[in-house]
Amino acid sequence: MKYDSQLFKLKKNDRIADGIYSWVVENDNLPGLARCGQFANVKVEGKTLRRPISICDADDNSLRLVFQVKGEGTEIMSKMKPGEEVEILAPLGHGFDIQKDKKYCLIGGGIGVPPMLFTAKQCDNPLVITGFRTKDLVILQDDFKAAGAETVLTTDDGSDGIHGFVTDVLKEKLGEIDEVCACGPIPMLRAIADICRGKVRCQVSLEERMGCGIGACLVCACKTKPKDGEEFMSQVCRHGPVYDAEEVFFDE
Ligand SMILES: Cc1cc2nc3c(=O)[nH]c(=O)nc-3n(C[C@H](O)[C@H](O)[C@H](O)COP(=O)(O)OP(=O)(O)OC[C@H]3O[C@@H](n4cnc5c(N)ncnc54)[C@H](O)[C@@H]3O)c2cc1C
Ligand code: FES
């Protein structure tokens, strides 16, 4: 596969929650429509390494990226103004495998929620369960509803939606769904995989430190166990970030 870094124009940069920003970037020469679960690798002024951000939504010539300020790179991104140009490699990675005739439960935790919006748009009437620490961090609820999803919101402290975890809701709904797709912190993904094991297929999107984002540097290597093969060091940027949950060693 050929990877071309392209100049995008920043059309929107909106603060949508405490420390969380929503970008829309445009480019008329996008190399192909993104698939849900893929990511963009964003060049930040003054930084050598790009910042990987999941594709939250996409069409023929634009991408939406939603990110939380964590360090210097995302801080710089949060301060950029509409009209500025930004160099992005996208779409990258291996996304969610979505089949039209299945009932999906899509689960996002915290800043793992954004890729589930584009995923929801590829599913028929999905159930979307999202979990956040507290109400100030809740994002994208109206977008999920506009995409035709049934939504269930949870917060750890009970300040919005159901007081509890996404896994409490999943356990109740397991009998109503065919497959699960999830993105969020590793302990959440591990708990979801445990609930789904032997009952419904579960795909998870992993977040791993990255360098190149295109399979050239091995920074993102992690051990996986494909169903029919031997354990191998997988590159999350190239073979992932989405894996079948049964392929993942969550403890390492
Ligand atoms: C496939 C993928 C999708 C992601 N999607 C999103 C998203 O949709 N929204 C969002 O807010 N964040 C997302 N992240 C995490 C995001 O990449 C980091 O928060 C961001 O790179 C931090 O950069 P920084 O300069 O602000 O922080 P710093 O800690 O200063 O970054 C230093 C270096 O470490 C790398 N790094 C730091 N944290 C991470 C991390 N968690 N994952 C990978 N590299 C990291 C940075 O890219 C940079 O090269 C994603 C990560 C991956 C791997
Ligand atoms: S980030 Fe370089 S190989 Fe994955």
| pLDDT value for 28 | 87
pLDDT, residue 252, reads 54
Instruction: Tell whether ligand 2 has an atom less than 6 A from the beta carbon of residue 235.
Output: yes
Please name the amino acid found at residue 1.
M
Distance 199 CA to ligand 2 centre (A): 33
Distance in Å, CA 43 to ligand 1 centroid:
12
Q: Per CATH, is 207-252 categorized as 2.10.240.10?
A: yes
Query: CATH topology of 96-205 equal to that of 207-252?
Result: no
Give the span between the Cα atoms of 133 and 164, in whole angstroms.
10
Identify the nearest ligand to the CA of 238 by its number: 2
Give the C-alpha separation, 77 to 84, whole Å: 11
Nearest CA to ligand 1 atom 30: 71
Segments making up each domain of the chain, as ranges: 5-92, 96-205, 207-252
Distance CA(121)–CA(109), nearest Å, equals 18
Per-residue model confidence (pLDDT) at position 147: 96
pTM (predicted TM-score): 0.96
What kind of architecture, by CATH, is found in domain 5-92? Answer: Beta Barrel (2.40)
* Mutual angle of helices 186-196 and 166-173, in 10-degree steps: 10
CA distance 96 to 121: 12
Helices (H), 147-251: 166-173, 186-196
pLDDT tens for the chain, 252 residues long, are 556 788 999 999 999 999 999 999 999 887 677 899 999 999 999 999 999 999 999 998 999 999 999 999 999 999 999 999 999 999 999 999 999 899 999 999 999 999 999 999 999 999 999 999 999 999 999 999 999 999 999 999 999 999 999 999 999 999 999 999 999 999 999 999 999 999 999 999 999 999 999 999 989 999 898 767 788 889 999 999 999 999 999 875
Evaluate: CB of 52 within 6 angstroms of ligand 1.
yes
**Residue 226: CB within 6 Å of ligand 2?**
no
**Under CATH, which number does the domain 96-205 receive?**
3.40.50.80
Distance, CA 209 to ligand 1 centroid (Å)?
A: 7
Q: Which ligand is nearest to the CA of 67?
A: 1
- Distance, CA of 54 to CA of 218 (rounded, Å): 20
State the distance from the centre of ligand 2 to the C-alpha of 208, rounded, in angstroms.
9
